[in-house]
Structure 1
Amino acid sequence: MSLREELEAVLCDGTDEEREILRLSLQAIRQKRERNSAYPSGFLGLAGKFTDSKSYRFRIPITPYMLNRGGFVHGGITATLVDSTMGSLVNRSLPDERFAVTAEMKVHYLQPGRGEELISTAHLLQMGQTLAVTECRVENEQGRLIALATATFSLQKKPGL
């Protein structure tokens, strides 16, 4: 069966959940093309904003793509969300010739991820010349604390500069 035939089969005979996964796949491709973001960011629909000079936030709907077999947000998705939120905060705080990569991250999973959306808010604790330290809270729309994370980022110079 060709890719086109498989896509048509899912569109015509697939479940709502399967069609949602296809929609998220297209969203990830579109976001990669338009913003050169990573595919996981596109699957999650990440689009963040500064809430103040040292805080950055993502709000994302909980989708079938994110759920584990128990019906809760998969821990790896939560880890990706906090890493993306903290990384976005640090990278958007740096001058154009610099970038950050995760050097260390710790995630405390406090409650199962459930609800309508996840709100991930990162705070910059310390920005040095070579390292940045951040923390991040993930809550659902009801304010229930799902996870708490900290991370250290290595600050690098872009190649060729």
Structure 2
Amino acid sequence: MKDHLIKLLETCIENSSDEDLGALSFVLEGIQNKITEKNTTYIDGLLHMERKLDENSCEITVPNNPILYNNLNILHGGITATVLDTTMGTLANYHLPEGFGAVTNQLNIHYIAPGTGDKIRCRAEIVHKGSKTMVISGEAFRSDGKKIAYATGTFFTIQK
């Protein structure tokens, strides 16, 4: 496996543009984030998520990078959805007792403005906390402070 990866990396490096090398660096640094436990999952690491969490809210910031862009060279809506879902899900899980987890049952997103700038910041707050479900709202902002998306999510509580 290692020999294959070394060969693949060498081929990519030899045949890449500066933009390609920047994307490769972003991905490898993301994997390193997971390996060194800066982030707990590969998706958190790959997106370079920085997290702030307290009793009332969760905030996740992700640097904007061309690897996350769609064909219009703006942040892909699926990335925005992933970061919003992660932000809301993190807050839901924070409020559950040991041995339980929250999984997304429904996710609704309203895209408002293009995701441009050097980062995206998502913030989540609990709307309703029941015994089996939680409803959480989230907002995504670009670096100039403009809101790019509004979301709500329903999360089921399950036993791990």
- TM-score strictly above 0.5: yes
2:19 is aligned with 1:6 = no
Partner of 2:45: 42
Please tell me whether the aligned partners of residues 61 and 118 of structure 1 are also in contact (alpha carbons under 8 angstroms): yes
Please tell me whether the aligned partners of residues 102 and 151 of structure 1 are also in contact (alpha carbons under 8 angstroms): yes
What is the CA–CA distance in structure 2 between the aligned matches of 1:94 and 1:17, rounded to whole Å?
42
Q: How far apart are residue 7 of structure 1 and its match?
A: 1.1
What is the CA–CA distance in structure 1 between the aligned matches of 2:125 and 2:83, rounded to whole Å?
14
Q: Read off the aligned partner of 1:94 and give its amino acid letter.
A: L
Partner of 2:80: 78
Of stretches 86-95 and 26-35 in structure 1, the one that deviates more from structure 2 is 26-35
1:107-137 Cα distance to aligned partner (Å, 9 max, x none):
0000111111101001111111100110000
Give the aligned length: 157
Give every structure 1 segment of 4 or more consecutive aligned residues whose post-TM-superposition deviation is greater than 6 Å.
none
- Report the TM-score, using the length of structure 1 for normalisation: 0.88
Partner of 1:22: 24
Please tell me whether the aligned partners of residues 28 and 39 of structure 1 are also in contact (alpha carbons under 8 angstroms): yes
Partner of 1:145: 147
What is the CA–CA distance in structure 1 between the aligned matches of 2:29 and 2:89, rounded to whole Å?
21
- Report the TM-score, using the length of structure 2 for normalisation: 0.88
2:125 is aligned with 1:100 = no
Percent identity between matched residues is: 34
Q: Relative to 1, partners in 2 of residues 1:20 and 1:86: Cα closer, same or farther, differing over 3 Å? A: same
Q: Relative to 1, partners in 2 of residues 1:69 and 1:118: Cα closer, same or farther, differing over 3 Å? A: same
What is the CA–CA distance in structure 1 between the aligned matches of 2:16 and 2:156, rounded to whole Å?
44
RMSD: 2.0
Q: Read off the aligned partner of 1:40 and give its amino acid letter.
A: I
Of stretches 64-73 and 39-48 in structure 1, the one that deviates more from structure 2 is 39-48
1:67-114 Cα distance to aligned partner (Å, 9 max, x none):
011011111111101001101111122222110000001000001111
Task: Name stretches of at least 5 consecutive residues in structure 2 with no aligned partner.
Answer: none
Secondary structure of the residue that 2:90 maps to in structure 1?
helix
Secondary structure of the residue that 2:50 maps to in structure 1?
coil
Alignment of 1:107-122 (within 5 A): 107-122=109-124
Q: How far apart are residue 157 of structure 1 and its match?
A: 1.4
Q: Relative to 1, partners in 2 of residues 1:53 and 1:154: Cα closer, same or farther, differing over 3 Å? A: same
Please tell me whether the aligned partners of residues 24 and 42 of structure 1 are also in contact (alpha carbons under 8 angstroms): no
